[in-house]
Amino acid sequence: MMAQKQYPRSIPVGVVDPVSGDIIPLKLSPSGSLMVDLSEIETVQLNIPPGQEIPVTVGNAEAIPTKFLTPQEVKNAAGNPVDVNVANTDPIPVEFGSAPDVVIPGGVAVTNFPSGFEVSNFPSPLTDDVVAVAPVVGEKTITQTAAALFAGSSALANRQLMRVRNLSLDQQVLVGPSTVAGTGFPVEPGGEYLFKFNKAVAVPVYAISPGAAAKVRVMEA
Amino acid sequence: MKYTLTELGDGITKIEMDFADEGVVLECETVVAGGSAEGQAYVPVFERDMRANFRHLFPLPEPEAAEGGEE
């Protein structure tokens, strides 16, 4: 009598990990269906026809770190950019490697614009054409020594305006910084010049005569 | 009149002038480009300007008595 070959009653079935080549056995779920433990597979490749959508449920308890190839676009395996639609209910923090240029066609509509701003570090008030202090008037003799220009006994504190008239009939004077000898601005005989200052910043103005001494009339305010 | 010169650096010299020794309450201050030599040269100019601009603070000179006296 010929012996009948015996086959095992159950044969292990598995899937081949394309990366490692290992066979990952299928498991039987409590409902009786076969399932694969994806945690044992490092790479999962889904061959989905272009344009077909598939529902994917991510059950992670913690946020999944996502890194785009570039800040601007996501590419598929063929290197072509693909659109990504993210429908999270909570904002997804995104960290760029470098500050990208953001171009929004049509601009941005702000719906919760505040009704006003309160600026606490506003800069010091600048000069305007309002005389806020009593003016001081005097004469100065402009010589070949560059000297500070003012009307009184010293430069007026918090001055906003200084008007200078060259009283000489034939001698030009130069006004400007302490290096006025070479870079001064000319005030011709009989001419005038008006300086406007930021009253919070004391700026000395120098005058010099390239020739004979000349008188100037100065008003500060 | 008394004055002091102070070199502030960066080619600037400060002149401080005080007329208290003449019984006049007037303190003046200016700056000139250059060192002590330039400051010293500008002192008499500055003094004349201050005396002219604040002439109302200085006492008028005594009028000289006319020669010949009364007839």
Structural domain boundaries in chain B: 2-57
- Residue B61 pLDDT greater than 90, yes or no: no
pLDDT category at A148 given cuts 50, 70, 90 is: very high
Separation of alpha carbons A164 and A181, rounded Å: 18
From B29, B42, B52, residue closest to A139, measured CB to CB: B52
Mean pLDDT, rounded, for A184-190: 95
Cross-chain residue pair B45–A143, CB shorter than 8 Å: yes
Q: Specify the DSSP element, H or E, that contains B47.
A: helix B36-53
Q: Is B43 helix (H, G, I), strand (E, B) or coil?
A: helix
Q: What percent of the residues of chain A are helix, what percent strand, and what percent coil, each to the nearest 5?
A: 5, 25, 75
Query: Which tens digits make up the pLDDT trace of A65-123?
Result: 666 555 556 677 777 777 766 666 777 676 777 777 778 888 888 788 888 878 787 76
Using CB atoms, which residue from A139, A146, A148 is nearest to B53? A139
The confidence score (pLDDT) of residue A82 equals 73
B32 pLDDT higher than 80: yes
- Contact A178/B48, CB-based, under 8 Å? no
Banded pLDDT at B71 (limits 50, 70, 90)? low
Best residue of A142, A150, A153, A179 to probe chain B, by most B CBs closer than 10 Å: A153
Q: Under an 8 A CB cutoff, do A181 and B33 touch?
A: yes
Picking from B12, B42, B50, the nearest residue to A153 by CB comes out as: B50
Contact of A206 with chain B, judged by CB distance below 8 Å, is answered with: yes
ipTM, two decimals, is 0.86
Q: Is the pTM of this model over 0.90?
A: no
Which carries the bigger pLDDT value, residue A45 or residue A81? A81
What are the φ/ψ torsions at residue B49 (nearest 5 degrees)?
A: -65, -40
Residue A42 has pLDDT above 70, yes or no: no
Q: How many CB atoms lie within 10 A of CB A191?
A: 13
Residues of A in contact with B41 (CB under 8 A): 143, 145
CATH dotted code for A136-220: 2.60.120.770
Q: Taking the domains of chain A in order of start, what are their residue ranges?
A: 136-220
Predicted local confidence at residue A178, as pLDDT? 93
CA distance A95 to A88: 17
| Average pLDDT of span B7-22 | 95
* Shortest Cα–Cα distance, B33 to chain A (Å): 5
Q: So what's the pLDDT on residue A40?
A: 61
**Average of per-residue pLDDT across A190-214:** 94
Q: Which of A63-67, A90-94, A146-150, B65-69 has the highest mean pLDDT?
A: A146-150
Of B11, B48, B53, the CB nearest to A178: B11
